[in-house]
Chains A and B, each alone.
Chain A
Amino acid sequence: EAQVTQNPRYLITVTGKKLTVTCSQNMNHEYMSWYRQDPGLGLRQIYYSMNVEVTDKGDVPEGYKVSRKEKRNFPLILESPSPNQTSLYFCASRFSSINPGPWAYEQYFGPGTRLTVT
């Protein structure tokens, strides 16, 4: 089954304790992204990756790191989490737009990770 998986689904942690949220996709997608969802703000992009070893900042990158060592994985790292990073996080992936076909337009989302930083 084609899917994007995230782990953990729920996480409660304390300020300053480093954490990693994993993301993996099995569709051989080139593009992967991380978004955070906050009430009244919709979803905002944190970081994205166009392919292995190619990453770039999105709209709200402060306090986050990412890496793309393998095509299927795109972990999100919070080196020193703070309460303002309490949010719902989504990983997403899709094909590069140079790929033909209507599927190139669609972005597949993971199930979300609810993070609470106290």
Chain B
Amino acid sequence: AQTVTQSQPEMSVQEAETVTLSCTYDTSESDYYLFWYKQPPSRQMILVIRQEAYKQQNATENRFSVNFQKAAKSFSLKISDSQLGDAAMYFCAYRSASEGANNLFFGTGTRLTVIP
């Protein structure tokens, strides 16, 4: 089974600063999708950003961007101009692009604290 590793259990960032959350994954497949989910105290899982492995260009969504390094199997999330509302647990996730593949493999999460 694929494994997703988030090596930073906790991170903190000063408001308005930039923070990068790390994620690595292990797979033998060439086509897959990668995701970052945000889980605020409400526990709702919110999709932040996604990346298709066949795309070389890094995905961006407003203040959120990724650094996708396919050869290194690395998928980090950069949050720019951090806001208090960014404080949450962040999960990196992997899903195969194979037909019928449904399982999302999650990392163990990184808790982000934003300091006013």
Interface residues of A, Cβ cutoff 8 Å to B: 31, 33, 35, 40-45, 48, 50, 58-59, 88, 90, 92, 94, 97-98, 105-107, 109, 111-112, 114
Contacts and interface: CB of A to CB of B under 8 A. Distances in A.
Contacts, number: 57
Contacts of B101: 97
Contact of A97 (B42, B93, B99, B104): B99
Given A97-B97, A107-B104, A42 B109 contact: yes
B91 interface: yes
Interface stretch (B12-20, B45-53, B79-87): B45-53
B64 interface: no
A24 B47 CA distance: 19
B44 interface: yes
Given A50-B102, A97-B99, A98-B99, A106 B107 contact: no
A116 B57 CA distance: 44
Contacts of B103: 33, 45, 48, 58-59
